[in-house]
Amino acid sequence: MADDKKHETPDAARDEAFAADGEAPAGSNGHAGNGLAGNGLPDPAGAAAEAAPAGGGDAAGELAALKDRYLRLAAEFENYRKRVERERSEGAVRAQAQLMERFLEPLDDLARIADFDPETTPAGALHEGAEMVERKFLRAMETAGLEAIADAEGKPFDPTLHEALTTVPAESEAEDDTIAQVYQKGYRFKGVLLRPARVVVKKHNG
C-alpha cells in the first residue's frame, strides 16, 4: 500500500486533496468558475463572458443619452430658427409701418387738394398745393433713405446711373456722349439703384 502511494502523480494527489475538502479541482474542466484557467492564469474566454453584459449595458446607456441630447438640441435649434424668422418678419413689418406713417401727412394734404372745386379754385392755387405735397413726399422718402440722382444735364453719360432713351446730334466732338436732357429722374435707396435717370444723349457724327 505504501508503494502505491509512492507511485501516485502530483495531480492525482491534488485531486484527492480537493475531493477531501469538497471542492472541485481547478484542472478538472479548465477553470474553477472564477475566470482562471487550469494553470492558474486568467482565462480570456471566461473573463470576456463575465465582462460582456456590463460593457454592453454601458454602451447602450451612453447611446441612449447621446440620442436624447441630440433630440433636445434639434428641438432647441428648431425653436430658435422659428423665433428668428418671427422676429425678422415682425421687424420688416415695423419698418414698413414706420415708412407708411411718414406718408400719412402728405397723403392728407393730397386729399385736401383733391377736394378743391376746380371751377372756383384758381389754377395757381392747385399748382402750389401740388408742389407742396410733392416736397412733403420727397422729404419723407429722403428721411427713409431715398436719394435722387443729381441732375445730369450737360454732364457725361454714365451707364451705371443713366438710361439713354434716344440720341440727338452734338454740335461738337467735345459734346459727344453728354446728356442733352433728363426725361425722367432716377433714384437710389441707401446706395441701391432703384431706377436710372432716363435721358437724351448727344452724339457727334463728325
pLDDT in tens, 80-93: 999 999 999 898 89
Element (H, E) at 165: strand 162-169
pLDDT tens per residue, range 137-156 = 999 999 989 999 988 899 99
Cβ atoms of 90 and 121 within 8 Å: the answer is: no
Whether the per-residue pLDDT at 78 is higher than 60: the answer is yes
Whether the per-residue pLDDT at 201 is higher than 90: the answer is yes
Q: What average pLDDT does this structure show over 67-76?
A: 92
Query: How far apart are the C-alpha atoms of 134 and 138, rounded to whole Å?
Result: 6
Q: What average pLDDT does this structure show over 100-122?
A: 90
Out of 28-32, 71-75, 153-157, 160-164, pick the least confident: 28-32
Cβ atoms of 15 and 25 within 8 Å: the answer is: yes
Whether the per-residue pLDDT at 30 is higher than 80: the answer is no
Percent of the chain with pLDDT over 70: 72
DSSP result, 23-40: ---TTSSSB-SSSBBTTS
